[in-house]
Amino acid sequence: MRRRQFISDSLIAGTVLGTVPFACTHSFDTEVLILGGGISGLYLAYLLDKAGKGYILIEGSDRFGGRMFFHPTIQQDVGGRGIGDKYKEIMSLVNDLDIDLIDITELTGGGRSYYVNNTLIPSFENRADDPALLEFVTPETPPDLEALDDWYKRSDLDQSYSDYLKKLGRTDEEIALLNISANYNDVYNTSCINSLHSRAFRKFNGSKVIYNFAGGTKSLINAIVESLKGDLRLNKIVTSISAKDNGITVSCEDGTSLKAAKVVCTLPFSTLRDVDLDLSLNPKQKTAIQGLSYTAITQIHFDAIEPYWEADKLSPSMWTDTALERIMTFGFGDDNRHLVAWVNGKGTHQFDTMSDSSIANFLLSEMKKIRPASEGKIEYTGTHSWGQYKFNKGAYCEFNVGQSSLFEDMIKPAGNVHFAGEHTATHSRGIEGAAESAKRVYNELMI
Ligand SMILES: Cc1cc2nc3c(=O)[nH]c(=O)nc-3n(C[C@H](O)[C@H](O)[C@H](O)COP(=O)(O)OP(=O)(O)OC[C@H]3O[C@@H](n4cnc5c(N)ncnc54)[C@H](O)[C@@H]3O)c2cc1C
């Protein structure tokens, strides 16, 4: 495929690269300036291209894709990679760009072994006793939201996830156990709205088939980037956004700045809060930018030199009450020897201060303890901390109690600055949510 040339000087994108700016206003560098080159920024650029509109897109890191990140040393995707067959925006992009997918549905429902209370346990006969299912198999049936976009409208349901689980019949002991590896920072602070929205997404989106991208998410990201006609710039860390004079001025750490009629900001609020903002933000938007919670996730990757699970006849995937939390098989097909210890929330803190070699040693000794058959059979390949990664400072937004009431206001345009990104998605979640938000902003721009 054609390799695109990245232009790093201040050029008027539409004029140079042959697309048509919305309205050629010569005091602006571009009519539309997109901040962030993750899937939401790239998809918006793709839609603008299709409409023949010009834009400049700037990205702070040295690569595109954001949280769709094929890690260069780990040689695996460490961020979002699973998509569903009913992901409307993403599947249309996949079809347009002729991207090969791999059906991984069967791999998502596999069994697991356990290490709980210093004991290796092959499996739990009774689903109700399974600590990995405490969140999902509750004594009472949890209420369902009635629509995909109900979650931010149901302030009556907004309470801490732990209180909610208690009402569903979970004991304090069970809640403490499930909190070890629940997909949140801490079930005592996070709102049950996050969980209700996930359930609603599974129910109403209705995807039955789960895919990964053949060759990793870089296949999709590279294909989008190569198809784009606009002006894309890497290594442009945004430090301020100002709506002072006529137009919006965006300044970057390298001393450059760009002036645009409209800006679309896809930066997660976890990094936007470090940007100097001189904008007419509404009060709830200000609160959300400053305080929206993001889930910390640390992944410790390793390879099995030999398939040790064939020796002890237990599932390689594990649920544990140790610092490694969950061990997941990560590869598929010929690459089925790749595993990851997936640590969520407060459990990530202890790894934040450890060196890479300390983490490697910790992994080997802990695995020897919880899975004796793995001794001498595993090789550490690297760690990625989403909480520490400077361009995200968290894996994805999670609403603490009270924060979903900020949502409707936090996604409104602030004058000519529009907001996209997974944290602004009204209906979907994850990769599809990010793409859906780009479509919403595209419609806002086209009005
Ligand atoms: C571990 C993990 C697993 C996941 N699994 C799934 C999954 O299986 N399925 C699914 O659908 N979703 C999943 N997701 C979520 C999905 O990856 C994200 O929702 C989606 O990729 C977010 O896209 P985005 O464009 O909103 O944000 P991003 O991809 O984060 O894009 C924002 C961009 O802004 C840039 N940026 C940040 N600050 C600045 C700055 N100051 N200046 C300039 N640029 C800046 C960043 O570098 C980034 O490229 C997962 C995410 C993680 C982290």
Using the predicted structure, report yes or no on whether residue 336 has a pLDDT greater than 80. no
Q: Ligand 1: distance of its center to the CA of 167 in Å? A: 34
Q: Which residues contact 158 (CB under 8 A, 6 or more apart)?
A: 191, 192, 193, 401, 402, 404, 405
- Output the pLDDT for position 142: 84
Give the span between the Cα atoms of 354 and 169, in whole angstroms: 38
Cα radius of gyration (the chain): 23
In the chain, how long is the greatest CA-to-CA distance?
70
Encode pLDDT of 222-234 as tens digits.
Answer: 999 999 999 999 9
Strand pairing partners for 38?
65
pTM: 0.94
In angstroms, how far is CA 358 from the centroid of its own chain?
27
Which residue CA neighbors atom 9 of ligand 1 most closely? Answer: 82
Structural domains for the chain: 13-68+213-293+398-446 (3.50.50.60)
- Output the pLDDT for position 129: 87
Using the predicted structure, report yes or no on whether residue 125 has a pLDDT greater than 70. yes
Give the span between the Cα atoms of 234 and 41, in whole angstroms: 13
For residue 128, with 0-12 CB atoms within 10 Å meaning exposed, 13-18 middle and 19 or more buried, which class applies?
Answer: exposed
- Output the pLDDT for position 106: 82
- Output the pLDDT for position 365: 97
Pocket test for ligand 1, best of 77, 393, 431 (most atoms within 8 A of CB): 431
Ligand 1 atom at minimum distance from 437 CA = 26
- Output the pLDDT for position 447: 80
Ligand 1, CB cutoff 6 Å, lining residues:
35-41, 59-61, 66-68, 79-83, 237-238, 266-268, 271, 275, 297, 386, 391-392, 395-396, 421-422, 430-434
Encode pLDDT of 259-290 as tens digits.
Answer: 999 999 999 999 999 999 999 999 999 999 99
Least confident of 55-59, 241-245, 352-356, 430-434: 241-245
Q: Ligand 1: distance of its center to the CA of 279 in Å? A: 24
Using the predicted structure, report yes or no on whether residue 103 has a pLDDT greater than 90. yes
- Asked whether the beta carbons of 343 and 351 are under 8 A apart, the reply is yes
Using the predicted structure, report yes or no on whether residue 16 has a pLDDT greater than 70. no
- Output the pLDDT for position 3: 34
